[in-house]
C-alpha cells in the first residue's frame, strides 16, 4: 500500500450490480491506496459487493452527467470535505474503462510518487496536442494545489458529449499541468509505442494493448476487447494475454460479457488438409461455406518441387485465396518423418489448427463447438474432443516424432 | 504584404514558449543549424502535424499570424491540418484562394492538391470525414452523415461506406441477453440511424 495515495476512481454502471471485472480493478486499486473514493455517474445499483465497505473506502453514487471529469471533480470535493486530501501526498485519478491488473501496480505507483509535484500518466498521446490520457493520471498534491489545477477542477461542468469532455478536459488537464510549471510524464511515452506492422509511432497507444503490456503497463482499455478499431493487435491475442496474466479476470469477463461470440469469431483457425485434398478443393471449400464458425481457412501443403501444380491451384482458386479461405503452403522436400507437417505449421498464418479427417467433412457444427471451448479457455494447448483444435505455437514446440504420429492420423 | 510585427528572434521566442506550454519538445525551432524565422516555424508546424498534433499545429500557425507573419505556406499548412481533422470544406476554400496566388509555385501546388482531393470519389471523401468524426467520438455528427452518404452512394462507390457501417456496428454492444452477431449489429445500427433521421424530420415539422 502507498502511504499517501488517495485514489479517485470514476465509474459508470447501469446494471443491477457491479461487474466482477470492475470489482477486480477496484480491489487492485484499493490494495495500493491509503483511501479509495469510488464516484459513479449513476444512482447506486440494487446490489453492491459485500467487500465495498470499510474506513479506507468512500462510495458516491450520483447522476451528475459530467462523465469522468465530473466524477473527478466530485471526488476531489468529497475528499476535501472529508479531510482525505490533506494527509495524501499524491492523488490518482482513474476510471473503470480498463481491464486489470495484468501485472503489479506497485513498482509503477512507487515511481510515480517519487516527487511531490509531478504529473504522471500511464500513457500520453500527441493526438490534437500533447496530453496525458485521462483514464489514469497521478498528480502530486503539491501540484494539485497550484492555481491552474485548482481553477481547472473548479471549472469542470457537465458537457453535452463524451467527445466534448475529452476535447476540453482531457486536453485541458494537461495544459493546466503545464501552466502550473510541471511537465507531462508518461510511464510509456508516445514515441516509444511503435505500430508493430510498420515500425512507425502509434497514433493512439491504447489501441496497441499487447505492446503496452510488454512495455510495463499493467492494464488494457476495455474497448480493446469490444471494438476492432480500438485494437490493432488482435482481439484473440488480447484475450489470450488476459487469460494468461489474470485468469480470474478472464473468467469474469467470459461470464459477464455479451461479446463472447465476437471473441470466438476472432480466432484464427486453419484446417490442415492432406495432399490428396488438392483434387477435392471445390468440395472442401463448399464445406467451409457451411461452417457456423467464420474466418476458418483451409491450409493445403503442396510440394515446392511442383511449381506448376502450385500455379494451377492459385489460378483455379484465386477467389478463395483472395478471400482468405485458402492458403497454399509450399513444402520443401521433407527429409525426416513429420518434417512436412512441421514445415506446414511454420508457414501457416493461423493460431489454431485442426487436422483434416474423414469425420470432419461430415459435420458443420463440431468445429464451432471446439472454437467455443478455446475461446473460453484461450491458454489451452488444445481443445478436448474432436475435431481437436491445436494451438500452433504449442505444436511447434513438440518433438518432431510427436508430429509424425499426429500426421499419421490425418486422412 | 505587411511587415511582421515581431522580429525573427521574437517569433522564435513566442513559438518556443507556446511549445513549452503545450508540452511539445521542439524538433526544429531553436535547434542547431536553424536560423530564427518562418522556415523553422514551418518545419515545426509540419512536424507537429506529422505527429497528429493537429490542434497544436494550427495554434503555431495562428501564433505566427498574430505576430504579423504572413505566408501562403502558412495557409497551405493550415489547409493540410484541416484535412487531417476531416474538415475538407475549410481546406478546399483555402486552396481555391491559393490557386490564384501570384507565386506560380504556390498556385501550382494548390491546384495539384485540389485535383487530388477532387479525384477521390465523393463516397471516399465522405468516408474519410466520417472516419475522422468517429475517431473523435462524435456520434451526433458522424451518424447522420453516414446515413446520408449511404443513401446517396451506389455500386462500388458505396463500399467504403459499407465497410464503415460494418466497423461502426461492432462498436455497438447488443442489449443484455441478445446474441452477438455482426449482421444483426449492422441492422441494429442502420435502424438506429433511420430512427434518428426520422426524429430529426419530426422535430422540423410545423
pLDDT in tens, B24-58: 999 999 998 889 999 999 999 999 999 989 999 99
In a domain, B187, yes or no: yes
Q: Does any domain span residue B155?
A: yes
In whole angstroms, give the CA distance from residue A21 to residue A252.
Answer: 6
| Residues whose CB is less than 8 angstroms from the CB of residue B189 and which lie 6 or more positions away in sequence, other chains included | B165, B168, B169, B172
Asked if B23 reaches chain A (Cβ–Cβ under 8 Å), the answer is yes
Per-block mean pLDDT, blocks of 10 residues, chain A (411 long)? 86 93 98 97 95 97 92 97 96 96 96 94 93 97 96 91 80 96 94 85 87 96 88 94 98 92 92 91 94 90 89 94 92 69 87 91 89 96 92 89 75 46
Q: A305: which residues sit within 8 A by CB, 6+ positions away?
A: A332, A333
Position B195 in a domain = yes
Do residue B180 and residue A226 have CB atoms under 8 angstroms apart? no
Q: Residue B117's pLDDT is what?
A: 83
Chosen domain end from B99, B119, B139: B119
Q: Which of these, A147, A166, A6, A32, lies nearest to A97 by C-alpha position?
A: A166
User: CA neighbours within 13 Å on the CB side: how many for A84?
Assistant: 22
pLDDT at A334: 60
Is the same domain home to B54 and B107? yes
Do A381 and A394 contact (CB within 8 A), yes or no?
yes
Q: B183 and chain A: CB distance < 8 Å anywhere?
A: no
Kindly state whether B171 is in contact with chain A, defined as any CB-CB distance less than 8 angstroms: yes
A183 CB neighbours in chain B (<8 A) are 23
Q: How many domains is chain B partitioned into structurally?
A: 2
Give which of A355, A298, A294, A300 is closest to A331, Cα–Cα: A300
Do B107 and B132 belong together in one domain?
no
Domain closes at, from B51, B84, B119: B119
CATH number of the domain to which B12 belongs:
1.25.40.10
Chain B (41-80) residues lying within 8 Å, Cβ to Cβ, of chain A: 48, 51-56, 59
- B108 lies in the same domain as B138: no
How far is A173 from A392, CA to CA, in rounded Å? Answer: 46
Co-location of B111 and B145 in the same domain: no
d(CA A79, CA A33): 14
Residue of chain B with shortest Cα separation from A227: B171
- Residue B157 placed within a domain: yes
**B2 belongs to a structural domain:** no
Select from B54, B173, B178 the Cβ nearest to the Cβ of A128.
B54
Asked whether residue B3 is domain-assigned, the answer is no
Residue of chain A nearest B24, judged by CA positions: A130
> SS3 helix, strand, coil % of chain B, rounded to 5?
70, 0, 30
Considering only CB atoms, which residues of chain A are within 8 Å of chain B?
15, 126-131, 161-163, 166-167, 171, 174-175, 177-179, 183-184, 190, 201, 203, 226-229, 258-262, 265
Interchain CB distance below 8 Å, B52 and A127: yes
One domain, residues B115 and B156:
no
SS3 annotation, B143-186: HHHHHHHHHHCCHHHHHHHHHHHHHHHCCCCCCCCCCCCHHHHH
Query: CB distance A128–B52 less than 8 Å?
Result: yes
> Which cell numbers hold the place of A49?
459487493
Chain B residues within 8 A of A15 when measuring between CB atoms: 176
pLDDT of residue A411: 46
Nearest Cα neighbor of B150 from B129, B139, B164, B170 is B164
Q: Helices A247-256 and A20-31: crossing angle, nearest 10°? A: 150
Contact (CB<8Å) B21/A175: yes
- pLDDT band at residue B1 under the 50/70/90 scheme: low
| Residues B13 and B112 reside in one and the same domain | yes
Which strand (E) or helix (H) includes residue A399? none
Predicted pLDDT of residue A26:
98
Query: Which residue of B lies nearest to A204 if distances are taken between CA atoms?
Result: B52
Could you tell me if B184 and B154 lie in one domain? yes
**Do both B147 and B163 map to the same domain?**
yes
Chain A residues within an 8 Å CB radius of B178: 258
Which DSSP state fits A167? Answer: I
Q: Inter-chain contact B53–A259, Cβ cutoff 8 Å? A: no
The helix or strand, by DSSP H or E, that contains position A26, with its residue range, turns out to be helix A20-31
Q: Does B176 touch chain A (CB under 8 A)?
A: yes
* Residue B153, domain member (yes or no): yes
B138 and B190: one domain? yes
Q: Domains in chain A, start-ordered, CATH in brackets? A: 5-188 (3.90.550.10), 268-409 (3.90.550.10)
Domain membership of residue B110 (yes or no) is yes
**If you count residue pairs, one on A and one on B, with CB atoms under 8 Å apart, how many are there?**
78
Interface residue of A67, A163, A168, A226 to substitute, partner B, most B CBs within 10 Å: A163
pLDDT at position A408, please? 74
Contacts of B181 in chain A (CB under 8 A): 261
Helix, strand, or coil here: A19?
A: coil
Q: Do B80 and B135 belong to one domain?
A: no
Measured between CB atoms, which of B20, B136, B173 is closest to A258? B173
pTM for this structure? 0.84
B75/B73 Cα distance (integer angstroms):
5
Statement to judge: residues B15 and B94 lie in one domain: yes
State how far the Cα of A290 lies from the Cα of A286, in Å rounded to an integer.
7
Chain A residue with minimum CA distance to B137:
A163
CB contact under 8 A, A129 and B180: no
Domain stops at, among B57, B84, B119: B119
Chain B interface mutation, best of A120, A128, A185, highest count of B Cβ atoms under 10 Å: A128
> Do B126 and B103 have their domain in common?
no
Domain membership of residue B92 as a residue range: 8-119
Of B21, B54, B180, the CB nearest to A261: B180
What was the pLDDT predicted at A338? 64
The yes-or-no verdict on residue B168 having pLDDT over 90 is no
Tell whether omega for the bond before A387 is within 30 degrees of 0, i.e. cis: yes
Amino acid at each position: 500500500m502507498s502511504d499517501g495515495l488517495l485514489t479517485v476512481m470514476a465509474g459508470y454502471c447501469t446494471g443491477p450490480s457491479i461487474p466482477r471485472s470492475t470489482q477486480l480493478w477496484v480491489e487492485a486499486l484499493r490494495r495500493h491506496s491509503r483511501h479509495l473514493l469510488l464516484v459513479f455517474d449513476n444512482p447506486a445499483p440494487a446490489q453492491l459487493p459485500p467487500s465495498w465497505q470499510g474506513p479506507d473506502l468512500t462510495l458516491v453514487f450520483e447522476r451528475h452527467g459530467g462523465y469522468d471529469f465530473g466524477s473527478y471533480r466530485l471526488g476531489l470535493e468529497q475528499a476535501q470535505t472529508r479531510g482525505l486530501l490533506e494527509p495524501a501526498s499524491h492523488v490518482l485519478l482513474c476510471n473503470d474503462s480498463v481491464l486489470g491488473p495484468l501485472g503489479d501496480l506497485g513498482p509503477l505507483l512507487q515511481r510515480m510518487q517519487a516527487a511531490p509535484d509531478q504529473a504522471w500518466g500511464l500513457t500520453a498521446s500527441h493526438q490534437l496536442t500533447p496530453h496525458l490520457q485521462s483514464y489514469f493520471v497521478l498528480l502530486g498534491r503539491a501540484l494539485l494545489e497550484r492555481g491552474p489545477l485548482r481553477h481547472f477542477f473548479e471549472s469542470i461542468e457537465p458537457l453535452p458529449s463524451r467527445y466534448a469532455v475529452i476535447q476540453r478536459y482531457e486536453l485541458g488537464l494537461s495544459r493546466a499541468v503545464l501552466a502550473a510549471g510541471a511537465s507531462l510524464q508518461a510511464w510509456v511515452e508516445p514515441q516509444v509505442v511503435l505500430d508493430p506492422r510498420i515500425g512507425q509511432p502509434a497514433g493512439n497507444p491504447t489501441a496497441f494493448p499487447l505492446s503496452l503490456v510488454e512495455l510495463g503497463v499493467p492494464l488494457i482499455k476495455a474497448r480493446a476487447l469490444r471494438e476492432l478499431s480500438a485494437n490493432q493487435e488482435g482481439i484473440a491475442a488480447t484475450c489470450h494475454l488476459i487469460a494468461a496474466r489474470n485468469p480470474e479476470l478472464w473468467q469474469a469477463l467470459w461470464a459477464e460479457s455479451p461479446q463472447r461470440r465476437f471473441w470466438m469469431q476472432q480466432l484464427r483457425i486453419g484446417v490442415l488438409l492432406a495432399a490428396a485434398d488438392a483434387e477435392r478443393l471445390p468440395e472442401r471449400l463448399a464445406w467451409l461455406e457451411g461452417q457456423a464458425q467464420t474466418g476458418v481457412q483451409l491450409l493445403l501443403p503442396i510440394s515446392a518441387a511442383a511449381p506448376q501444380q502450385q500455379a494451377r491451384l492459385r489460378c483455379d482458386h484465386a477467389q478463395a485465396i483472395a478471400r482468405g479461405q485458402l492458403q497454399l503452403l509450399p513444402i520443401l522436400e521433407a527429409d525426416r518423418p513429420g518434417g512436412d507437417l512441421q514445415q506446414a505449421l511454420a508457414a501457416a498464418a493461423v493460431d489454431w489448427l485442426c487436422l483434416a479427417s474423414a469425420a470432419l467433412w461430415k459435420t458443420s457444427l463440431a468445429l464451432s463447438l471446439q472454437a467455443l471451448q478455446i475461446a473460453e479457455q484461450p491458454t489451452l494447448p488444445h481443445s478436448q474432443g474432436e475435431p481437436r483444435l491445436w494451438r500452433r505455437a504449442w505444436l511447434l514446440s513438440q518433438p518432431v516424432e510427436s508430429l509424425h504420429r499426429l500426421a499419421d492420423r490425418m486422412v | 504584404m505587411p511587415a511582421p510585427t515581431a522580429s525573427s528572434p521574437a517569433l522564435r521566442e513566442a513559438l518556443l514558449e507556446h511549445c513549452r506550454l503545450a508540452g511539445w519538445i521542439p524538433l526544429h525551432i531553436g535547434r542547431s543549424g536553424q536560423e530564427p524565422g518562418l522556415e523553422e516555424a514551418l518545419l515545426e508546424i509540419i512536424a507537429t502535424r506529422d505527429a497528429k498534433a493537429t490542434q497544436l499545429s494550427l495554434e503555431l500557425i495562428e501564433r505566427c499570424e498574430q505576430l504579423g507573419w504572413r505566408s501562403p505556406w502558412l495557409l497551405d499548412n493550415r489547409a493540410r491540418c484541416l484535412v487531417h481533422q476531416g474538415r475538407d470544406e475549410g481546406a478546399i476554400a483555402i486552396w481555391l484562394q491559393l490557386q490564384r496566388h501570384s507565386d506560380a509555385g504556390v498556385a501550382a501546388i494548390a491546384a495539384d492538391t485540389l485535383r487530388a482531393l477532387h479525384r477521390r470519389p465523393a463516397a471516399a471523401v465522405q468516408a474519410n470525414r466520417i472516419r475522422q468524426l468517429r475517431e473523435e467520438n462524435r456520434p451526433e455528427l458522424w451518424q447522420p452523415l453516414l446515413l446520408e452518404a449511404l443513401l446517396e452512394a451506389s455500386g462500388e462507390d458505396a463500399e467504403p461506406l459499407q465497410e464503415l457501417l460494418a466497423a461502426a456496428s461492432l462498436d455497438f454492444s447488443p442489449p443484455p441477453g441478445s446474441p452477438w452477431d455482426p449482421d444483426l449489429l449492422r441492422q441494429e445500427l442502420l435502424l438506429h440511424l433511420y430512427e434518428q433521421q426520422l426524429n430529426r424530420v419530426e422535430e422540423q415539422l410545423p
